[in-house]
């Protein structure tokens, strides 16, 4: 993760000192101004700057832009996955030291990623047409849990650009997105991990074929699960090294709504209405029903497959597959089923998957 910032000229030295103090190392910082991006690369003493390099590279996915004071923030679409966040709140979260959430943000700043309630729920209801261009939502999930589908439904029902307004973040990356500037809503998606494994495995098969592999890297589900999935989850700070309860507790403690994929399948319209009520956005039933219809498995490729959007890109790559729950029963070996049940017991029990 690279740190960029925008700050008024008269607050520059204070901002630099705050960033350095919170991060605890000598970070490479890049200041965005109306004219250019300047990189501060060498430090001395107690924060004095020795060298400034002009024409630094622009931010990329997973980079963060800290906004301080009344500085004008850059207009960046959510699809870029460049997070524009409140600088003081972000630094406060990093500086907690040892508290849940602080370690991950600090490790992001130092090493980069492997790949308070955010909104007042006492505010007045907002109409979809009143959503402003800079306002953002995040959709946080474990991979292969219906994220693209929910993004499409939300965008369709609210009449907003998914690329501009919706951050897609997995796992602990929500701890960055949570501090985004102009955030007005967020949601997390979960799914039975047994079905997640099946869906992820089929995506790996498809990706291998599209990438020109002569043979699939993981010829069966078991080899994929033991040879990739477990390492991806338990060897990755993005998923708290397999401690999924920490991720879920972060969400719950901040009253971030959590949606089960299985509930979306059973009642997509009802799930959307509940979510919009949680966000205090008034959406009429006709708009919700239309969104559900246009994003159903049989229609979503027709509705979005040819659009020049992130969702369109994913659909053209074959992202929409079965759209069902319980497919694991026909594809997972018993040893993998048992291992998931034991290794991820608390997650499976928490969302009612343990006895299904």
The 10s digit of each residue's pLDDT in 41-77 is: 655 555 455 567 778 888 888 889 999 988 888 888 9
Q: Specify the pTM.
A: 0.80
Residue 166: per-residue pLDDT: 95
Model pLDDT, residue 265: 95
| pLDDT at residue number 118 | 45
Distance CA 228, CA 22 (A): 35
Name all domains of the chain by residue range, CATH numbers in brackets.
3-111 (no CATH), 126-356 (3.40.50.300)
Q: Which residues pair with 39 in a beta bridge?
A: 30, 53
Report the C-alpha gap between 273 and 289 in whole angstroms. 10
Q: What is the pLDDT of residue 108?
A: 63
CA-to-CA dists, residue 107 to 176, 323, 353, angstroms = 12, 35, 32
Q: Which residues of the chain have pLDDT under 70?
A: 24-27, 41-51, 95-123
* Cα gap 353→349, rounded to integer Å: 6
pLDDT value of residue 26: 66
Give me the pLDDT at residue 43, please.
53
Contact 2, 26 (CB under 8 A): no
């Amino acid at each position: 993760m690279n740190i960029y910032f925008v700050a008024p000229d008269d607050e520059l030295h204070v901002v630099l000192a705050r960033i350095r103090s919170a991060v605890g190392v000598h970070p490479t910082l890049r200041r965005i101004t109306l004219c250019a991006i300047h990189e501060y690369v060498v430090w001395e003493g107690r924060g004095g700057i020795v060298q400034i390099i002009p024409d630094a590279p622009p931010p990329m996915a997973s980079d963060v832009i800290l906004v301080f004071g009344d500085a004008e923030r850059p207009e960046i679409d959510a699809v870029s996955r460049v997070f524009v966040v409140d600088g003081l709140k972000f630094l406060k979260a990093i500086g907690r030291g040892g508290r849940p959430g602080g370690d991950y943000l600090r490790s992001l700043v130092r090493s980069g990623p492997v790949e308070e309630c955010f909104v007042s729920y006492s505010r007045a209801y907002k109409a979809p047409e009143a959503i402003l261009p800079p306002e953002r939502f995040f959709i946080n999930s474990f991979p292969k849990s219906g994220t693209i589908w929910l993004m499409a439904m939300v965008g369709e029902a609210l009449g907003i650009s998914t690329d501009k307004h919706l951050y897609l973040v997995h796992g602990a990356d929500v701890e960055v997105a949570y501090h985004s500037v102009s955030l007005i809503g967020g949601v997390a998606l979960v799914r039975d991990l047994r079905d997640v494994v099946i869906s992820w495995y089929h995506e790996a098969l498809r990706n291998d074929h599209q990438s020109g592999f002569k043979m699939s890297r993981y010829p069966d589900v078991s080899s994929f699960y033991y040879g990739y999935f477990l390492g991806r989850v338990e060897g990755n700070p993005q998923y708290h090294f397999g401690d999924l309860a920490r991720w879920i507790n972060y969400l719950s403690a901040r009253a971030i709504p959590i949606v089960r994929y299985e509930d979306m399948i059973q009642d997509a319209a009802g799930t959307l209405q509940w979510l919009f009520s949680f966000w205090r956005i008034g959406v009429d039933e006709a708009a919700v029903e239309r969104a559900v219809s246009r994003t159903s498995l049989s229609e979503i490729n027709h509705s979005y497959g040819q659009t020049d959007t992130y969702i369109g890109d994913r659909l053209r790559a074959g992202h929409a597959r079965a759209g069902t729950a319980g497919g694991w029963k026909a594809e997972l070996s018993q040893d993998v089923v048992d291992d998931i049940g034991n290794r991820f017991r608390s997650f499976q029990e928490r969302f009612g998957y343990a006895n299904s």
